[in-house]
Amino acid sequence: MKIFKFLFVIPLITLIIIFQTSLQNRYLMASDIRDGETIFRNVCAGCHVRGGSVVLKGSKSLKLSDLEKRGIADVNSITIIANEGIGFMKGYKNKLNDGEDKVLAQWIIQNAEKGWK
């Protein structure tokens, strides 16, 4: 009987260790999400400098009035554009971690509403 208890306890302890490790990794990944300003500086500011102004001719600005004219002044639209791209702009889903697209979109909308001050 003692051997059966031993054979049961070892796999149980192994499962507990694996489960705790996976939970710790999940929390580490969630904390790896950068804030909107950091994402913008690292991914977007090369073309959208000084709060939404654009460097390249033919590119669109991120000013609220321009976003509204194009019907993309909402978080969902900006999230899609950040991932897939639009016009001359390529998508950046390969540079954005899970959840960072929404964080970026919310940050862009908030700053557009403030007039990029």
The CATH number linked to 108 is 1.10.760.10
pTM for the complete prediction?
A: 0.69
Bridge partners, 86 (sequence order): 89
36: Cβ–Cβ under 8 A, 6 or more apart, which residues?
103, 104, 106, 107, 108, 110
- 114 and 58 in one domain? yes
CA 8 to chain centre: 43
Residue 38: per-residue pLDDT:
92
Residue 1: per-residue pLDDT:
58
Domain that holds residue 45: 34-117
Report DSSP state, residue 55.
S
- 113 and 63 in one domain? yes
- 61 and 24 in one domain? no
Residue 23: per-residue pLDDT:
47
What is the number of domains present in the chain? 2
> Would you give per-residue pLDDT tens digits along the chain (117 residues)?
566 565 666 665 665 666 565 544 444 444 467 899 999 989 998 888 776 677 666 667 899 998 999 999 999 999 999 999 998 889 999 999 889 999 999 999 999 999 988
